[in-house]
Structure 1
């Protein structure tokens, strides 16, 4: 890879980073996607579902703009449902449960096949700029400097990230991966206000420990609606979900 010809650098290989990098490359500019671990591109670290109320519209819009998520979700979907089907079209929400492994592999394949897009494993430590002037590139933790005309920041939960597990708080971008502390500190020199958002991730349960017979069965749609206009039916065998509910004892 000739790093002297890079025009756009995208920092972070999550959902937003993949879309931003692919979109830039489709526009004909030489794009570099920098992420901590190439093998984690497309990782579904929270609830392995795409879409839902409000969010399903966004996936449809991404597909209309020739994006990746709708195509990849259709390829990885194992149950499709249109939420709020009985209501008006404006509030309906397409959603699919996705196979995490298939989704990750499909997104990595899409990124690898995008012409003009290169992926680099690394961690960005700081920006290249003079006297808080325009940002001209990035410095990696290994000391390497890469210049570009534009930098797109899609770091997700990694900027100075922490994880709360019960009474424990650990520094992490997500489970098993370090946070981006140096880059977060460097952003402060540009007088950018930093905030923190919180998300909750449900626990993973061993299916062998669950009494499935007492749970409410939830089937997918008989005629699934795909996210992408290019697809008409699911690629995988469809599975059922089971539903349970909390009670007053749980909320104590």
Structure 2
């Protein structure tokens, strides 16, 4: 491998690394993917699932941009479920229970068969730059030197990672894998500030040791749902695997209370910050002392494995206490453990040191994606990896990066939050983080982003043409719904009456669709063109009809805010010369160096008065440069 040259080097073969490497290679760049193992690609060391609130929409966005996660999730799903369907469409989200073995194999096959892509087994130990801090290459722990024009770091939880169980602490990556420290040292040498975060994973229990008669069955959703636009095959709900629901007991709570000092979290062993939205079980007991019982989901990991994943029961307790905790659960009296729960600490960076392209400000051509940026979750990692891979290619090509706006994508919200607000705990995407979530729905990812994927070159001509055909079909349905009318004596009126909906005058199909009490499926038999639409496409037609006024107002607001994004801020501006800026605002603006007024206004600590002073200064000193 000595002196081998690459356009793009990706470090880490997790969910971020896979997307970055595939994007780079598919865009024609000579790409190397460095991973600690040749057969551990896109692993699921924690929850064996893809999607969920906000996260599921990110997977749809990855697909619209030409990424791979959505296709892999569809192809290897054990169960498919639409969450929050009883609530508003802005929070609908798809989630699949994944076969973790088949998912990893799917991605490994994609890596091994991808043109322009080499899988390099090794541990990255150093990063090399020239005198101007431009990336030149990377070193492996065995002494190998690899040249590269740009590097994407997707190291996950493997940087100086340590496993915690009770008061025990030992160096290790997830599941007793290798950990590395060289990259942390290199980043410090470049002046990059590092953080220390923590996450954890629950025990894995042998399936034949659990009595499920005391659990509630949790089936999938009976609908033809998929993450990817390209998916044509759907598994009937009757053939999908079941998940199960139980609740912890009073005994479970007492065991925690009696042994709290033994937890790594509360014994002083932990130096780092864990995820607030996915806490250890003992943390739940401390934070919610009045809550007697907590939900626990029992989920399959793979048809090739004999284990259950115990969702919601992560802990850093010592093994003897873990055993007591597990046996206190309904149906777990005779349980047998294959893998015990643990917490893991690892290095990550302060993401405010990144550009919106995910390139480090201090090192030219060094991009970061995934948990190294302080995030959590497979989906957030994959989305960042895809954006970083695309922008690494654009860096090599000397093109403008792809930067998604907050009103365009949850990926835009994610990256904007990271670089402008920073992180103080592992960041998790939530629908509440998106102020324009009515525009960022599960059903309209293609409408928002597919043109980017096509322009970049990751969405191929055939898929683009199929999408154009889908648009024609949707427009035909809208036209037909506006044209057709139904009277109180029509056959449809009788169907609606049977479902408790009475119509006392003539209505167009569109007027009926706009009524929340009308099930759109009741119209399919009377509007033939509706039969041609997929579930997502029909949802999009219905949502756009029912929320037409709200969507219009939201888009008008976005158009007003877009004017702020056009007011650019020179990268070399001297903030010390901007009068009447608050001290905190001046410090944050110097650190982040926002590209425009819109970005500046979203920085924590920068207030409207500071923005006004900045606008005055720009008008007085950079009038000719303002757009």
TM-score (norm 2): 0.39
Report the Cα distance in structure 2 between the residues aligned to 1:139 and 1:5, rounded to whole angstroms. Answer: 12
Q: Is the 8 A contact 2:2 2:145 kept in 1?
A: no
Range 114-123 or range 124-133, more displaced: 124-133
Map 1:50-129 to 2 at 5 A: 50-129=50-129
Q: Which moved more, 1:12-21 or 1:184-193?
A: 184-193
Question: Structure 1 or 2: larger strand share?
Answer: 1
Q: Cα deviation per residue 1:1-39 (whole Å; 9 max; x = unaligned)? A: 896441000000000000001111121111100000020
Compute the displacement of 1:135 (Å).
Answer: 2.3
What residue in structure 1 maps to residue 15 of structure 2? 15
Partner of 2:240: 238
Q: Tell me if 1:193 matches 2:193.
A: yes
Q: Which shifted more, 42-51 or 241-250?
A: 241-250
Aligned: 1:138 with 2:141 = no
1:25-64 equivalent positions in 2, closer than 5 A = 25-64=25-64
Distance 2:103 2:117 in 1: 20
Question: Which residue number corresponds to residue 207 of structure 1?
Answer: 207
Alignment partner of 1:223 is 2:229: no
Paired residues of 1:132 and 1:189 also in contact (CA < 8 A): no
Q: Which has the higher helix share?
A: 2
SS of the counterpart of 1:16? helix
Q: SS at 2:110's partner residue? A: helix
Q: Aligned-residue CA RMSD in angstroms?
A: 1.8
Distance apart, 1:222 and its partner CA: 1.3
TM-score, scaled to structure 1: 0.94
* Cα deviations by residue, 1:108-143 (Å, 9 ceiling, x for unpaired): 111122221111101110011245822211011111
Contact preservation (8 Å) 1:14, 1:43: yes
After TM superposition, give the deviation of residue 197 of structure 1 in Å.
Answer: 2.2
Aligned match of 2:605: none
Quick one: distance in 1 between partners of 2:162 and 2:174? 8
1:54-75, CA deviations, whole angstroms, 9 ceiling, x for partnerless residues? Answer: 1111111111111111111111
Q: For residue 162 of structure 2, what is the aligned residue in structure 1?
A: 162
2-side partners of 1:46 and 1:234: how far apart? 26
In structure 2, the CA distance between the partners of 1:89 and 1:53, relative to structure 1 (3 Å rule), is: same
Partners of 2:154 and 2:136 in 1: how far apart? 17
User: How far 1:172 sits from its partner (Å)?
Assistant: 1.6
Distance 1:132 1:200, change over 3 A: farther
Distance in structure 2 (CA, Å) of the matches to 1:2 and 1:70: 36
Cα distance, 1:235 vs. partner? Answer: 6.0
Asked if 1:24 corresponds to 2:10, the answer is no
- In structure 1, distance between residues paired with 2:28 and 2:110: 16
Runs of 4+ displaced beyond 4 Å: none
> Cα–Cα, structure 1 residues 185 and 215, in superposed 2: closer, same or farther, change >3 Å?
same
Q: SS where residue 97 of structure 2 aligns?
A: strand
Q: Equivalents in 2 of 1:69, 1:123: separation in Å?
A: 25
CA distance in 1, matches of 2:45, 2:132: 35
In our comparison, the structure showing a higher alpha carbon Rg is 2
Find the residue that maps to 2:174 and give its secondary structure.
Answer: coil
